[in-house]
Amino acid sequence: MSQLSPSRDLRELPKTQLHLHLTGAMRPATLIELAGRYGVTVPPPLPGAAGTWAAFQDRYDASRAVLRTAADVGRVIAEAASDDAADGCGWLEIQVDPTSYLPVFGSLEAALEAVLAGAAAAPIPVGVLVASSWQRSPAHAVTLARLAARYAGAGVVGFGLSNDERGASVADFTPAFKLAREAGLLAAPHSGFYTPATHVQECVELLGAARIGHGTSAATDPAVVELLASRGVALEICPTSYPPFGVHELSTIPVKTFLAAGVPVAVSTDDPLLFGVGLAGQYEILRDFLGLTDEDLAAVAVGGVQASAAPAEVRTRLVAEVAAWLATGSQ
């Protein structure tokens, strides 16, 4: 524990953000402003309405309803990228289910192009993941995988499945992920939040997941931990997403289990609008609640860089900057 330096400003640690949903990336002040402009009533913030997925979804849906134009979408991405950059982020991946914006944009293409335009104009490099939902049909996932594949190389870097992963058959989504992977896209489904380690295992073995959104239940099964480590599958761990749903307390998130086993951990914020903590704050939680040292935090930051879809020059630069950060602290 002697390596702990609690006063060190973790905004200075170079890092990535790999798990951020467009709607949940909105600044609270922007939500209030846009809700007023469009006459949308937004349910009270978490934690007042915490504890159930339904309460979360209600607020999320209301927040989504304030994004009406490409300018609104571009503003949210620019502000999110600016906030993450201030927290030391050098590469941001934002995920969106364009289906959610179909009613306002008129087509999936128009919705995705609004996101891509916002990403291209952001103050730091931004990649886009197209995400279908575990709660929508496998056929719809194929539709979105085809859409994502068409924009591979034009800003789309990955394909995912978000939302509550319970109740759906992993195997049914194999065709969508095959399409995405054949287009060179990174496969990054949510898993292991509500579902057991076997669900994480299926996402790796059947969907070819290179990363798992959350995936913390894998820690309960050493064979799945070993699978993740041997294949270099990274877990996008978002510390503040777990306590409101009773998934973990901040002090029981199994980050050390994964790091000790060689599983890459990429710390992200998920939905800072709803959970209230930014990217550097998530790293502070790992230090303050889990006792991670500077070396551990640097390993997490590097894990995020290596698990990202960032171009080689961005990855090389960020890894060097993390090493410099660590060297500076140990002088």
Interhelix angle 108-121/70-86, nearest 10 degrees: 40
Question: Quick one: tokens of 318?
Answer: 């960020």
- Minimum Å gap between C-beta 64 and Zn ion is 14
Question: Quick one: tokens of 91?
Answer: 């590469």
Q: Which is nearer to Zn ion, 270 or 321 (CB)?
A: 270
Long-range contacts of 321-330 (CB under 8 A, 24+ apart): 321/14, 321/90, 322/13, 322/14, 322/15, 322/298, 323/298, 325/12, 325/13, 325/14, 325/298, 326/294, 326/295, 326/298, 329/5, 329/8, 329/294, 330/294
- Minimum Å gap between C-beta 16 and Zn ion is 15
- Minimum Å gap between C-beta 318 and Zn ion is 22
Q: Interface with Zn ion by CB under 5 A: which residues? A: 270
- Minimum Å gap between C-beta 290 and Zn ion is 20
Q: Which is nearer to Zn ion, 202 or 270 (CB)?
A: 270
Q: Which is nearer to Zn ion, 164 or 270 (CB)?
A: 270
How far apart (Å, rounded) are the C-alpha atoms in residues 37 and 50? Answer: 26
How far apart (Å, rounded) are the C-alpha atoms in residues 126 and 218? Answer: 29
In the 8-state DSSP scheme, what is residue 219? G
- Minimum Å gap between C-beta 72 and Zn ion is 21
**Nearest residue (beta carbon) to Zn ion:** 270
Q: Which is nearer to Zn ion, 18 or 322 (CB)?
A: 18
- The phi, psi pair for 16, rounded to 5°, reads -120, 165
Q: Which is nearer to Zn ion, 84 or 270 (CB)?
A: 270
